Amino acid sequence: MKNLKKKSSSALAVLALAAGLGIAAPGPASAAYCGITWGSLPKTAAAQPTAPITNVRAGRHACFDRMVIDLRGERVGYDVRYARSVHAPGSGAHVPLRGAADLSIRVKAPAYDARGNATYRPMNRSDVVSTAGYSTFRQIAYVGSFEGQTTFGLGVRARLPYRVFTLDTPGTGSRLVVDVAHRW
């Protein structure tokens, strides 16, 4: 019994020391912040719409920065994940982004219509939306659209938790929303 108490005390001391030094297990894959459940794992939806992307915008909120991609159709498919680097569809060329972490946002929708005419053409592909003054966003880049899928790169200040969801708009449109929390 004496050895059991001694081992338990030793184990607790080691855990306390590790916590005090910041040596702990990696953070959770999800956490609650501002009443929202966040995560850092990839987020996907399988829908394959044929309706094109029409606009991209961003906004600042108290707990997160938000990117919104507008589509002409109702269903939105996507693949959003942290990546070591973001690459242009088709060519595979590396697209550098400002910030300490890169989110690759692949929307399963083209940025052109059935005739190949652009439905989304930003003035500046490297800076689709100005992120000056944002807490988390450092850059939003239009990477390209190829074979019915469009890629954006979102440079963020750190590998922070995020969430992805879709919203219907009045009529036949929809929006893909990517929120990145200001902290864990």
Asked if 128 contacts 142 with a C-beta cutoff of 8 angstroms, the reply is yes
The pLDDT value recorded for residue 21 is: 36
- State the pLDDT at residue 23: 36
Phi, psi torsion values for 179, nearest 5 degrees = -105, 135
3-state secondary structure the chain: CHHHHHHHHHHHHHHHHHHHHCCCCCCCCEEEECCEEEECCCEEECCCCCCCEEEEEEEECCCEEEEEEEECCCCCCEEEEEECCEECCCCCCEECCCCCEEEEEEECCCCECCCCCECCCCCCCCCCCCCCCCCCEEEEEEEEEECCEEEEEEEECCCCCEEEEEEECCCCCEEEEEEEECCC
Residues 128-158: tens digit of each pLDDT: 999 999 999 999 999 999 999 999 999 999 9
Residues of the chain with pLDDT under 50: 1-27
Structure tokens at 147: 């074979």
* pLDDT value, residue 28: 53
pLDDT of residue 134: 98
Predicted pLDDT at 121: 96
